[in-house]
């Protein structure tokens, strides 16, 4: 599964996959699903979940400065509030907002 196209349209991320499936994910939803450790929480060796204080989100947190494909399997999103540590794997993206 590969991405043919990826762009921000309004307040949504528009994805086009190589199987012709087109997908739209609201940027706010995308940001709230950020998979990086500080946002998603980390599980330590004892199996306990550690999650820092919820990051302060503001208007810029839901705006995309740029997008970068990583290694042909993930997308790195650079948010306008300078958060960019989340790598959204294609699998994760495909699972998001699958309802039309």
The residues of the shown chain that bind Zn ion, judged by CB under 5 A, are 34, 36, 39, 86
Complex with Zn ion: residue 16 or 81, whichever CB lies closer: 81
Q: How far apart are CA 26 and CA 94, in angstroms?
A: 13
- State the minimum distance, in angstroms, from the CB of residue 38 to Zn ion: 6
Complex with Zn ion: residue 75 or 86, whichever CB lies closer: 86
DSSP 54: P
Complex with Zn ion: residue 35 or 91, whichever CB lies closer: 35
DSSP 100: -
94 in Cβ contact with 77 (< 8 Å)? no
- State the minimum distance, in angstroms, from the CB of residue 11 to Zn ion: 19
- State the minimum distance, in angstroms, from the CB of residue 4 to Zn ion: 26
Q: Which two tokens stand for residue 21?
A: 């499936």
Q: How far apart are CA 83 and CA 62, in angstroms?
A: 10
């Amino acid at each position: 599964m590969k991405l043919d196209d990826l762009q921000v349209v309004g307040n949504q991320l528009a994805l086009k996959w190589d199987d012709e499936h087109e997908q739209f994910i609201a940027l706010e939803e995308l940001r709230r699903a950020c998979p990086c450790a500080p946002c998603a929480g980390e599980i330590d060796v004892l199996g306990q979940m550690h999650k820092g204080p919820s990051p302060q989100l503001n208007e810029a947190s839901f705006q995309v400065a740029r997008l970068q494909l990583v290694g042909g399997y993930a997308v790195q999103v650079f948010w306008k509030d300078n958060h960019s540590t989340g790598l959204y794997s294609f699998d994760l993206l495909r699972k998001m907002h699958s309802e039309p």
